Amino acid sequence: MIDYFIENLTGIKNSQVKKAPKLDEALIHMVMDAKHAGSKERAYEWAAHHNLFMSAENIGGNLLEEYIYSKIKPYGWIWCRGKILTAIDFCNDECTAMFQVKNKTNTENSSGKGFRESCGAKAWNRMKAERRNGKIETYWPKLIEIVREGSTVDKPVPNDLVTEADYLDFVSNTVRNNPYLISEREGDL
């Protein structure tokens, strides 16, 4: 499914030729001099690592939604990909329950929140933005409650329908099966 998203909704092909980095030379010099990178090549290497994580962050939200959909579809939920409903990521097949997915508690913008609240949609965050004692706090049980409340099928929603460990396995398997999903080159995604 992620291949469908990449190729059809974003227009990006997995076979896309890698592009040369388009970094501002002044930034390379700032990093090189401030952090004693030792060489321009080292500063470019750091930039490539940064771009790799930015690429992963950009695709991360789509993977989170894809994982959730793979789990909640049997309970009467629809993935509202793209621009089907503004600020809504999932609705049940009767359009009586909707929710928006965000990776962290600090990532919803005010216009999205206003629209979501005006149509009575809930918000769900995968994790709290701040760590507690160095650990990530996740909210998967709250998502299970939302799915239960909006389910349109006569089938119980299990308590372990979605979990952090299962999600991390899903992400790892998806990336292993599609090595072009993220890139260290600026502008590839």
Which residues are CB-neighbours of 75 under 8 A, at least 6 positions away? 147, 148, 150, 151, 152, 153, 155, 157
Predicted local distance difference test score (pLDDT) of residue 97: 95
Taking alpha carbons only, the member of 187, 188, 186, 161 closest to residue 49 is: 186
**pLDDT tens, the chain, 189 aa long:** 334 433 443 333 333 333 444 667 787 777 777 777 677 787 778 777 777 788 788 888 899 999 999 999 999 999 998 666 777 899 999 999 999 999 887 665 555 667 667 778 899 999 987 888 888 899 999 999 999 999 999 999 999 999 999 999 999 999 999 888 887 765 543
Q: How many CB atoms lie within 10 A of CB 149?
A: 13
Chain centre distance of CA 141:
19
Taking the C-alpha atoms of residue 143 and residue 96, their distance in angstroms, rounded to an integer, is 16
Q: What's the pTM value of the predicted model, to 2 decimals?
A: 0.75
